[in-house]
Amino acid sequence: MGRTPKYSSEVKMQNKVKVLLFSLYVSHFSWADLTVIADFGGESAVRFYESLQPEHDENAPNYPNSISASVSEADILPIVSHKLSPGTIKEKPFDLTGMQAIFLIGADNTSAQWLQQNREKLITLNATGLVVNVQTLSELNQLRDIVPELRILPTPGDDLAERIGIAHYPVLITESGVSQ
47, 63 in Cβ contact below 8 A?
Answer: yes
In 3D space, the residue among 138, 99, 131, 126 whose CA is nearest the CA of residue 114 turns out to be: 131
In a domain, 27, yes or no: no
Residue 99: count of CB within 10 angstroms of its CB: 12
- At 3 the pLDDT is 53
pLDDT of 128 > 90? The answer is yes
In a domain, 65, yes or no: no
140, 134 in Cβ contact below 8 A?
Answer: yes
In a domain, 122, yes or no: yes
In a domain, 31, yes or no: no
Give 154 or 35, the one with higher predicted confidence: 154
- At 45 the pLDDT is 66
Cα dihedral: 138, 140, 146, 152 (round 10): -150
Q: Can you give the CATH number for the domain in which 78 is found?
A: 3.40.30
- Residue 103's domain comprises 71-179
In a domain, 99, yes or no: yes
- At 85 the pLDDT is 97
In 3D space, the residue among 113, 111, 149, 110 whose CA is nearest the CA of residue 131 turns out to be: 111
- Region 15-23: what's the mean pLDDT? 83
Cβ neighbours of residue 47 closer than 8 Å, sequence gap 6 or more: 63, 65, 66, 67
In a domain, 1, yes or no: no
pLDDT of 46 > 70? The answer is no
Q: State the chain's mean pLDDT as an integer.
A: 85
162, 131 in Cβ contact below 8 A?
Answer: no
pLDDT of 145 > 70? The answer is yes
In a domain, 175, yes or no: yes
List pLDDT tens digits, range 54-108: 566 677 676 666 666 677 888 889 999 999 999 999 999 988 888 999 999 999 9
- At 119 the pLDDT is 97
- At 112 the pLDDT is 98
Give 173 or 96, the one with higher predicted confidence: 173
Rounded Cα–Cα distance for residues 142 and 136 (Å): 10
How many separate domains does the chain show?
1
pLDDT of 122 > 70? The answer is yes
- At 100 the pLDDT is 94
Rounded Cα–Cα distance for residues 92 and 111 (Å): 19
The model carries a pTM of 0.63
In a domain, 171, yes or no: yes
- At 53 the pLDDT is 55
